[in-house]
Structure 1
Amino acid sequence: MKVSVIITTYNSEEWLEKVLLGYAVQTEPNFELIIADDGSSSATKRVIDSFKASFLHPIQHVWHEDEGFRKCKILNKAILQTHTDYLIFTDGDCIPRKDFVAQHLKSKEKGYFLSGGYFKLPMSISKLIDASHIQKQEAFSIRWLTKQGLKKSFKLSKLTKWNWFAVLMNWLTPTKKTFNGHNTSCFKEDLLAINGFNEEMLYGGLDREVGERLFNYGILAKQIRYSAICIHLDHKRGYASPEIWKNNNAIRAYNKKYNVIKIEKGIDQYY
């Protein structure tokens, strides 16, 4: 296997099914899937089990009890279940274009992590997308999306299929190169060196914090937001609060000020 794809999920089996359809039609088949499940019900397991015959390698379902938002903990556990030296991180609401895995592998480089993005869809189109739209790649077609009522904007340029344009825009975009949980990749050894995800972090900036510690460790970032494409399905967000954001921002500020690389409450708890 060339790479491990780690997908986070929590009680979103309708969206996860569409995401797994996207991974079932990848141009690069030589990868493993690890589902990092933050306490979903048995409905999620049924969806995962139904896809196991669609992949060259087994899908692993890494699950723990639902005790509130514990994304960092389940991600650390999932990382330790991978069998490759390179990891792609994404979410169970982000459908990958058929070349998603191939683009990450094409751009990977020692000393770097890759910073991708997503194209966000409204709820109406998120619901409309079905298996045929994913298999035929219509869900990534600007023409198809606008026919379904999506407003035209420059953001649609993310979905262009012209490689030269993607390379140019990766270079020109003013968006910072950050570690994004919905679309990023890195070498496993670099994550282990900084002790993985910080379990002191709850919702809000937990992925960025990992990237900031990778920067402190000496790892650089490459922009691939116009090359490695995924579409983000809409959903409600009810797991943030001002207090949590304040705590998370304080952790990040401290890490930046004191050049923190390896945090205390991380992946080494599970060795």
Structure 2
Amino acid sequence: MEFPKTTIIISVYKDTEALGFILDSLANQTLPADEIIVSEDGDSSEMREFIATQKDRFPHLLHLTQPDDGWWKNKAMNNAIQASSNEYLIFIDGDCVPYSTFIQAHAENAQKGIVLCGKRFELGPKFTERVKRHELTVRDIEKKFFWYLPFMIADDARHPEDGLTFKSHSFISRQIHKRYVRHIIGCNWSCYKEDFLKINGFDETYRLPAEGEDVDPSWRFRGMGIELKSCRNNANILHLYHPKRFSAVEGDVNKAIMEKHRAENAFYCKDGIIKES
């Protein structure tokens, strides 16, 4: 089977420790990414120094920065889309570690005119600390999922059902993927670059987390005739625990922006990759 050439875009902010676990996973994929872009919403010396230590391991690794001017992930991601060299884009967050089959699962489910939407399995605090202390790897959890499952549930893991892996296009996967997909989960999704350009990328009007990085592009894709399809339990990621970083108030601000744009049927955003003068 011939797969599209892939660029994986990792959204980061200063957390070099979590990025290290992600890169360890990307070094051991069943189908390696053709390009890796670390898209930093900021410009920290710690991240620059860490990336420099990874260049020999990943010659196809590109690190993009921008001024640290508060949350502006959408701008950083648009920069990464423009810089990407390949036809197929896979998006993850810098606190989410992919399973070993992650890239392959996205690539073998890829279709033009379709956005693939994955989920995330969220580790609890104690298991996250075990991973960070290198007592346990994400690969260990992937391989012995059912062994660790009751202990992870006891550690307040969230969405453990999304840690299960099934082969793409299998009978079980087809049944799972019949379910309606409401919107993208911003830490695990993919699409052809040409499809994203049809909606002008991420809307940079959003200057706060939530809505603008996942719900907003979802309805705009649909407005342009691009459908959302599940790749749940094929392309799996494991989210490392951390306290919640944004409030409901921020979500309300973004919802107001989104509802205004929806009322205008603004599927092609004005403040995206191309700026409307």
**Same fold judged by TM-score > 0.5?**
yes
CA contact (8 A) 1:121 1:231 kept: yes
CA contact (8 A) 1:166 1:226 kept: no
Alpha carbons of structure 1 residues 247 and 27: separation in structure 2 relative to 1, 3 Å: same
Question: Which residue of structure 2 aligns with residue 220 of structure 1?
Answer: 227
Give SS of 2:271's match. coil
Alpha carbons of structure 1 residues 251 and 123: separation in structure 2 relative to 1, 3 Å: same
2 CA distance for matches of 1:205 and 1:268?
Answer: 21
After TM superposition, the structure 1 stretch with the greater mean CA deviation from structure 2, 112-121 or 201-210, is 201-210
Amino acid corresponding to residue 209 of structure 1 in structure 2: D
Q: 1:17 aligns with which of 16, 20, 27?
A: 20
Question: Which residue of structure 2 aligns with residue 109 of structure 1?
Answer: 111
Gaps of 5+ in 2: none
Q: 1:43 aligns with which of 39, 42, 46?
A: 46
The answer to whether the aligner puts 1:184 opposite 2:189 as a matched pair is: yes
Question: Which residue of structure 2 aligns with residue 252 of structure 1?
Answer: 258
The answer to whether the aligner puts 1:150 opposite 2:153 as a matched pair is: yes
1:257 to partner: Cα distance = 3.0
Residues 46-92 of structure 1 deviation map (CA, whole Å, 9 limit, x = unaligned): 3222222223x421000112111010111111111100111001101
CA contact (8 A) 2:7 2:35 kept: yes
Question: Which residue of structure 2 aligns with residue 268 of structure 1?
Answer: 274
Give SS of 1:181's match. coil
Alpha carbons of structure 1 residues 73 and 153: separation in structure 2 relative to 1, 3 Å: closer
Amino acid corresponding to residue 160 of structure 2 in structure 1: L
2 CA distance for matches of 1:108 and 1:43?
Answer: 35
- The normalised TM-score by structure 2 is 0.87
Matches within 5 A, 1:163-242: 163=167, 164=170, 166-171=172-177, 173=179, 176-201=181-206, 202-206=208-212, 207-240=214-247, 242=249
Amino acid corresponding to residue 123 of structure 1 in structure 2: P
CA contact (8 A) 2:7 2:33 kept: no
Give SS of 2:153's match. coil
Question: Which residue of structure 2 aligns with residue 159 of structure 1?
Answer: 163
Amino acid corresponding to residue 159 of structure 1 in structure 2: G
Amino acid corresponding to residue 5 of structure 2 in structure 1: K
1:133 to partner: Cα distance = 4.2
1:203 to partner: Cα distance = 0.8
The answer to whether the aligner puts 1:32 opposite 2:35 as a matched pair is: yes
After TM superposition, the structure 1 stretch with the greater mean CA deviation from structure 2, 123-132 or 255-264, is 123-132
Gaps of 5+ in 1: none
Amino acid corresponding to residue 103 of structure 1 in structure 2: A
2 CA distance for matches of 1:165 and 1:123?
Answer: 34
Matches within 5 A, 1:115-126: 115-126=117-128
1 CA distance for matches of 2:267 and 2:179?
Answer: 28
2 CA distance for matches of 1:226 and 1:7?
Answer: 20
1 CA distance for matches of 2:113 and 2:123?
Answer: 33
Amino acid corresponding to residue 100 of structure 1 in structure 2: F
Give SS of 1:21's match. helix
Q: 1:54 aligns with which of 47, 54, 57?
A: 57
Give SS of 1:74's match. helix
After TM superposition, the structure 1 stretch with the greater mean CA deviation from structure 2, 190-199 or 91-100, is 190-199
1:120 to partner: Cα distance = 0.5
Residues 147-179 of structure 1 deviation map (CA, whole Å, 9 limit, x = unaligned): 7553399943333344346504533556x3422
Alpha carbons of structure 1 residues 127 and 153: separation in structure 2 relative to 1, 3 Å: closer
Give SS of 2:274's match. helix
CA contact (8 A) 1:116 1:225 kept: yes
Give identity over the alignment, percent. Answer: 29
Matches within 5 A, 1:63-74: 63-74=65-76
1 CA distance for matches of 2:157 and 2:131?
Answer: 20
